[in-house]
Amino acid sequence: MNNFTYFAPTKVLFGRGVEASVGAELAALGAKRVLVHFGGGSAVRSGLLAKVTASLAEAGLEWIELGGVGANPRLDMVRKGTELARRENIDFVLAVGGGSVIDSSKAIAVSVAGGGDFWEYIEGKPVEKCLPIGVVLTIAAAGSEMSNSCVITDTEHHLKRSIGTNAVRPKVAFMNPENTFSVSPWQTACGAVDIMMHTLERYFTGDGNTELTDRLAEGLLLAVRDAAPRALADPCDYDARATLMWASSVSHNDLTGCGRRRFFPAHKMEHDFSGFNEKLSHGAGLAVLFPAWAKYVYTYDVNRFAQFAVRVMGCEMDFADPARTARAGIDALVAFFRSLGMPTTLGELGVDPADYDKIIALTTRNGNKVKSYIDLGPEEIRAIYKLAE
């Protein structure tokens, strides 16, 4: 087991009606003027935004609202929010939404507190300050409500890039599974894939004996594998929605990767698919790219891929040929994604082979290679694309 530091400072309030305590919790954290950041109209139509602002008013807090965050949070929205927050002397950012809203909120909070333009931090400027962030979660997917990451897209240059710093971990998260009942089947399925990927990308790293962490990871994957079909069959299944919501947080707060390295090769490749075409859903892209990546690298860690096949996907172990079991596990994962209605090929995803070189150029910009069992350069990435066709 590798050395590790586990840091999960977010206070979580989980269950029915927790959004009623938003005002009191933010006031206790010292908030006075809050930027309430949200996405489209669902937070308004559902009445959630009204509940949140009523709670802020009851606690005597002032707030400014900024909606309009899209599926892939954009740099231009971050700049708009930063200008607004500076002008209004905001001292707390509250995200009401899913991962895109949360990441946009994080980027605004960093820019306001640290100064300058957010893309400077993407390019290496150290994050030394960040306004406190709170989250009222509405989609179980990205895990941004407890993570140290923030992903933003520069649509002008088709670059989807991230920062990772404990400064952006939210101070408090309000997680009511009922607020995910209205999430569409497509978004529910994409979210389930993203949740699983955050653990799978920590699970397949080539590290040694991490049995406890493995069991935590496998338990989460099994729980999501059970809950996702139930949530699709009955969108108001509270227990299924609760499992997905809590799994979203635990899968990306680093618990399921303790003692293991962190490479995230499929995520890094997919970011350039949805950066190149912002209409692509991140979870759908991962459903296509992760199995293709797994088929490309499984021979470097056959026993672990076979372990996953047996423990998570329910395959029979072939002790005479563990590689066969490993391949069966990857195939079973693809079949599971397909059962959720996810695309499993680049053609289904709508990616044009004529664009392969352009997307690869984004991923390998400035000579970068994707870290994995082996470094992935242009040739290796192209081979993975071919496996995804």
Whichever domain contains 53, its CATH number is 3.40.50.1970
Q: Would you say residue 1 lies in a domain?
A: no
Q: Is the pLDDT of residue 35 over 90?
A: yes
On whether both 155 and 238 belong to a single domain, the answer is no
Q: Which domain holds residue 382?
A: 185-387
On whether both 157 and 21 belong to a single domain, the answer is yes
Query: For all residues of the chain together, what is the average pLDDT?
Result: 97
On whether both 31 and 153 belong to a single domain, the answer is yes
Three-point CA angle 174, 278, 231, nearest 5°? 45
On whether both 265 and 303 belong to a single domain, the answer is yes
Q: Would you say residue 310 lies in a domain?
A: yes
At 187-210, the pLDDT tens digits run 999 999 999 999 999 999 999 889
At 40-57, the pLDDT tens digits run 888 899 999 999 999 999
At 96-137, the pLDDT tens digits run 999 999 999 999 999 999 999 999 999 999 999 999 999 999
On whether both 190 and 77 belong to a single domain, the answer is no
On whether both 189 and 147 belong to a single domain, the answer is no
- How many other C-beta atoms lie within 10 A of the C-beta of residue 352? 11
Mean pLDDT of 344-351: 96
Q: Would you say residue 6 lies in a domain?
A: no
What are 353's two structure tokens? 């082979």
On whether both 206 and 321 belong to a single domain, the answer is yes
Q: Would you say residue 27 lies in a domain?
A: yes
Residue where one domain finishes, among candidates 179, 207, 234: 179
Residue where one domain finishes, among candidates 179, 194, 215: 179
Mean pLDDT of 156-169: 95
Instruction: Report the percent of the chain where pLDDT is more than 70.
Output: 100
- How many other C-beta atoms lie within 10 A of the C-beta of residue 265? 26
Q: Which helix (H) or strand (E) holds 62?
A: strand 62-66
- Cα–Cα nearest to 103, from 149, 41, 57: 149
Q: Would you say residue 2 lies in a domain?
A: no
Residue where one domain finishes, among candidates 143, 163, 179: 179
Give the pLDDT score at 40. Answer: 81
Give the pLDDT score at 31. Answer: 98
Q: Is the pLDDT of residue 36 over 90?
A: yes
Q: Is the pLDDT of residue 278 over 90?
A: no
Q: Is the pLDDT of residue 71 over 90?
A: no
Instruction: Report the percent of the chain where pLDDT is more than 90.
Output: 97
Indicate which CATH number applies to the domain containing 245. 1.20.1090.10
Model's pTM, two decimal places? 0.96
Q: Is the pLDDT of residue 379 over 90?
A: yes
On whether both 107 and 189 belong to a single domain, the answer is no
The C-alpha atoms of residue 348 and residue 376 are separated, in whole angstroms, by 24
Confidence of residue 63 (pLDDT cuts 50, 70, 90): very high
Residues with Cβ within 8 Å of 277's Cβ and at least 6 positions away in sequence, in order, are: 350, 351
Residues with Cβ within 8 Å of 255's Cβ and at least 6 positions away in sequence, in order, are: 6, 8, 216
On whether both 207 and 136 belong to a single domain, the answer is no
Q: Would you say residue 379 lies in a domain?
A: yes
On whether both 132 and 65 belong to a single domain, the answer is yes
On whether both 138 and 260 belong to a single domain, the answer is no
Q: How many domains does the chain have?
A: 2
Mean pLDDT of 2-19: 97
Q: Would you say residue 5 lies in a domain?
A: no
On whether both 132 and 191 belong to a single domain, the answer is no
Give the C-alpha distances (Å, rounded to integers) separating 149 from 41, 50, 243.
26, 28, 22
